Structure 1
């Protein structure tokens, strides 16, 4: 560690090497000016009638010294590429320090060159030039304190010769020069502190930037891993849940004459829908936070949204013995929003309202407010305390009173709503009174543009299914899921064929089976793309309707299927939606 009277924090070896390089470059620049200064001072002295040869010779002698300094600098820069900073400091700090001392001594000796032939004014000019050189280097060469200190003490030799330079006035000029040198020395200390702190701050900034980069990369990696895990786990978990849901509906139809069994199966349905909703909310939140959701605003008819909500939640409201009322907006009521995000948001609000309303009911309505439509979901549930209303949209947060009425929630529904609304640039809010109920609302911009063609909305009577009488081909790689498909579709009087890959599916067709509906899973263990298999089957059976059925959300094939207008059903498939879909497809076939 170098010794100097400074309290500035010392940078690393690499930082100290940067300071050494800056001081070395300044030292060489100072030496490069000396030949020209020698000839200029010699010329001036000759013009004043003095002997200029001392300056001429001194300037000429600086030429080989300058070549030596240039040679050292090239060697130093070459070794910078080969040697570690600590080794370079140990080798080059003393070398450059000795060169700086020699330069200072040479400059100080310049005052002896004109003695005896120069006037008082000329000697003042020489000393002024020397003081200016010391002062300028205090602001530049002081990057390395050891180098500047060697140069400075070499220059103090000029003070020793002042009694001979100013024989009649040295007792005035010497104290003045000493005071000036002391001030310059102190200024050099402050300049060096600035250099050191600047390098230390730069190193600390780079350290923090690197820490931030590593932390950011680790966070992104962890987020990507989490999303991959959720995507894979959701598919694997949805398979048995999907099978259980289909089996529950099949059992309910076979055992509808047993009241106790009907009640238990009703609770099973509610639990299955709750689990499915949790999966959806968790994956939706993950996809939104990872930036995988692309905003696609379009005109959306509010009447169609309300019809979907009526279909989707009527059975659940009935099972909970709650009244679900929807005041359908006028047919021309249209908002500009992302269709998927606004459906997702409203579904989460209605689901939450039903879950946390022990008695009474839920009301969904819409009203025009200036250039916006406000969609409101009212309930007579437990409400939200005032002090908790600011936290209710946070992921995994649930109010204390919500735990008392329903312990199976995970605090994800409203978090998804908040993210969806923020993505659309819309507004949201709530009004709530603890123990009396709540009103959650979303405000979307109104538009006069005609709405786009909407996805199929299920229209069957929820909870009770009539016979369908048609033919359906189902592809899935899980035998339990295939068994559940067979059980449910069989109770609806649908003739079904099951396949686990494309070969088995085409074998059924070759055997004479002509499906009117084809339901195909995306992830097949044979390695085939479910969407490509579906397209091939529909090409072979042009009169059939087809849909993808998958527990995945972000698979490129599913995104492509959705973009091309094919229906994509998410596991576990809601029985009401499935029955309504097949009823429309089979009815269109004339069955």
Structure 2
């Protein structure tokens, strides 16, 4: 059993009462009672008119009843004026101050309101008929019953009205009903007990509702504060990852380039296994960075989904080109199956490409022999992207749990302990944000098929700017063909670039600032490819520098390289059609890009 919160009364001790309500809520209930009294004064003016006319028709002088009606008419406007002052006081003063100043006055007004109802029997008892007196008594009984519902939120106010009004009428029964008081009086007394009981029940109903409202407001405030704390914690985490990602990625980025260059220049076969393990470790760290930062960026809610027409065939072909070298290094065949015509879908191109990259990387990680197939197939009236592999497969009992963060089954741990269970979680979040369906089929030990099914699109809706050309299969970078210019302010990264390019047989010039790069161009240096880091210590914008360099080098190709998670300039660069590579850059991805951009070797 859980312990009762000592700050709150136990639910089994007693029902909540008026004293359990906060002063602010009591002020609200008092306003309801005051408004009902104000309405009652006006209603009595209307009720008095038929009785004045009836009394006059009986041949009696109605002057006393007219004065009584006028009294209620004046009282209506006075109480209305007081009621508006009360509302202004509620908006201006503290709740306890309002209660202390206005509660006695409202009780007094209720007392006058009820006592004035006993005036007609005093004026007409000796002259009116039995029917006249009985109808008036029934009318007042109906008014009292109505007040017992609307005025009972503050029971003391209602009792002032009721006891002064109906109590006075009950005392006047022998005088108002001569010869009939012996049966009218018991009915009036029974009515007193009934109304008091009913008003107490109504009060409990009001109080319980107010208590529930206060509890709901408290829970809503607790939820709001918890939500703000969670959002603040998520923002702080995102800010930390964003700030730290650049500095953390720099050494991993350089390490990956150095491992690749050492592997190519290594002549000692005894080091092959150690270098392969080191390359795999760097590769695993790179994928962990990407998955963690991608998941953080998506969960932060800062990703803006932009639905547009996407050429699925072109996207699949480009994704395959980026991973083809890695598949070759793993001894796997990477094939692509594309439809003969256009395959258009409505999706966010960035999110869809990210999801396909993760699916293909996942397939490569858990496939030891055989191959991978990327396909775009017709399903109904739309297209579906599929990634097939001949890997270890997945037990169907794991179901959609594989799309949860950090989930890895026993087979996955057995084949590769370097995974982190984040890749498929990113796929699921990307698909959810795009409104695309996703799923998988698998047989343990035989392989799997993961698929993404975006919304169908018409070929006519595809803008020319997003039509993707078929990429050139790069293979290995041609030795001695082409020159590169790299702008990066980190000396370790520049050294790694230089070493890697030399191992590939390429000419590379690395500088640390835009001024040095522009000086080289002005001196006649004409690179085929330009790579610019986004964050330069000189305060320059890497994207603006890249645009200026490519403007002076119309024959060159260029890309942005950055370790930043979110950057408005990088987003703008991608929107403008520039390639943005995220640190740590996979050497296979870089090799694929250079294979597309550098001139082919001359045939001899």
TM (norm. structure 1) is 0.88
Structure 2 gap segments, 5+ residues each:
1-13
**The one of 214, 220, 226 aligned to 1:203:** 214
* CA RMSD after TM alignment: 3.1
Q: Which moved more, 1:418-427 or 1:558-567?
A: 418-427
> Is 2:573 aligned against 1:561?
yes
Summarize the Cα distance change of 1:89–1:179 in structure 2 as closer, same or farther, 3 Å threshold: same
> Is 2:246 aligned against 1:235?
yes
Summarize the Cα distance change of 1:279–1:251 in structure 2 as closer, same or farther, 3 Å threshold: same
Secondary structure of 2:305's aligned partner: coil
Q: Please say if residues 266 and 319 of structure 1, whose CA atoms lie closer than 8 Å, have aligned partners that are also in contact.
A: no
2:530 — aligned with what?
518
Summarize the Cα distance change of 1:36–1:210 in structure 2 as closer, same or farther, 3 Å threshold: same
Secondary structure of 2:566's aligned partner: coil
> Is 2:61 aligned against 1:47?
no
1:332 — aligned with what?
341
1:103 — aligned with what?
113
1:574 — aligned with what?
586
Secondary structure of 1:411's aligned partner: coil
Secondary structure of 1:439's aligned partner: strand
Q: Please say if residues 468 and 582 of structure 1, whose CA atoms lie closer than 8 Å, have aligned partners that are also in contact.
A: no
**The one of 128, 132, 141 aligned to 1:118:** 128
Q: Which moved more, 1:575-584 or 1:61-70?
A: 61-70
The CA deviation at 1:148 is: 0.3
| Cα distance in structure 2, aligned partners of 1:572 and 1:54 | 98
1:216 — aligned with what?
227
Summarize the Cα distance change of 1:454–1:269 in structure 2 as closer, same or farther, 3 Å threshold: farther
**The one of 452, 471, 474 aligned to 2:483:** 471
Summarize the Cα distance change of 1:510–1:437 in structure 2 as closer, same or farther, 3 Å threshold: closer
| Cα distance in structure 2, aligned partners of 1:47 and 1:459 | 110
1:100-156 C-alpha deviation (Å, 9 max, x unpaired)? 123222212431111222222222222223222212212222221110011111121
| Cα distance in structure 2, aligned partners of 1:175 and 1:238 | 92
Q: Please say if residues 472 and 497 of structure 1, whose CA atoms lie closer than 8 Å, have aligned partners that are also in contact.
A: yes
Summarize the Cα distance change of 1:209–1:278 in structure 2 as closer, same or farther, 3 Å threshold: same
| Cα distance in structure 2, aligned partners of 1:580 and 1:385 | 34
**The one of 350, 364, 383 aligned to 1:354:** 364
| Cα distance in structure 2, aligned partners of 1:340 and 1:241 | 24
| Cα distance in structure 2, aligned partners of 1:349 and 1:160 | 90
Secondary structure of 2:402's aligned partner: coil
Aligned length: 581
| Cα distance in structure 2, aligned partners of 1:427 and 1:17 | 54
Structure 1 gap segments, 5+ residues each:
1-5
Secondary structure of 2:599's aligned partner: helix
**The one of 413, 416, 432 aligned to 1:422:** 432
The CA deviation at 1:382 is: 3.3
The CA deviation at 1:276 is: 1.9
2:261 — aligned with what?
250
1:161 — aligned with what?
172
1:3 — aligned with what?
none
| Cα distance in structure 2, aligned partners of 1:539 and 1:573 | 25
2:442 — aligned with what?
432
> Is 2:555 aligned against 1:546?
no
**The one of 470, 494, 499 aligned to 1:487:** 499
The CA deviation at 1:327 is: 5.0
1:211-254 C-alpha deviation (Å, 9 max, x unpaired)? 33333333333333333333333222221111111112222232
| Cα distance in structure 2, aligned partners of 1:445 and 1:157 | 78
**The one of 199, 222, 247 aligned to 1:188:** 199
| Cα distance in structure 2, aligned partners of 1:516 and 1:388 | 49
| Cα distance in structure 2, aligned partners of 1:446 and 1:45 | 83
Secondary structure of 2:495's aligned partner: helix
Q: Please say if residues 440 and 448 of structure 2, whose CA atoms lie closer than 8 Å, have aligned partners that are also in contact.
A: yes
1:395 — aligned with what?
405
2:276 — aligned with what?
266
Summarize the Cα distance change of 1:251–1:442 in structure 2 as closer, same or farther, 3 Å threshold: same
The CA deviation at 1:369 is: 4.1
1:514-538 C-alpha deviation (Å, 9 max, x unpaired)? 3332211111122221111111222
| Cα distance in structure 1, aligned partners of 2:401 and 2:128 | 87
Q: Please say if residues 309 and 457 of structure 2, whose CA atoms lie closer than 8 Å, have aligned partners that are also in contact.
A: no
| Cα distance in structure 2, aligned partners of 1:416 and 1:499 | 36
Secondary structure of 2:297's aligned partner: helix
Secondary structure of 2:468's aligned partner: coil
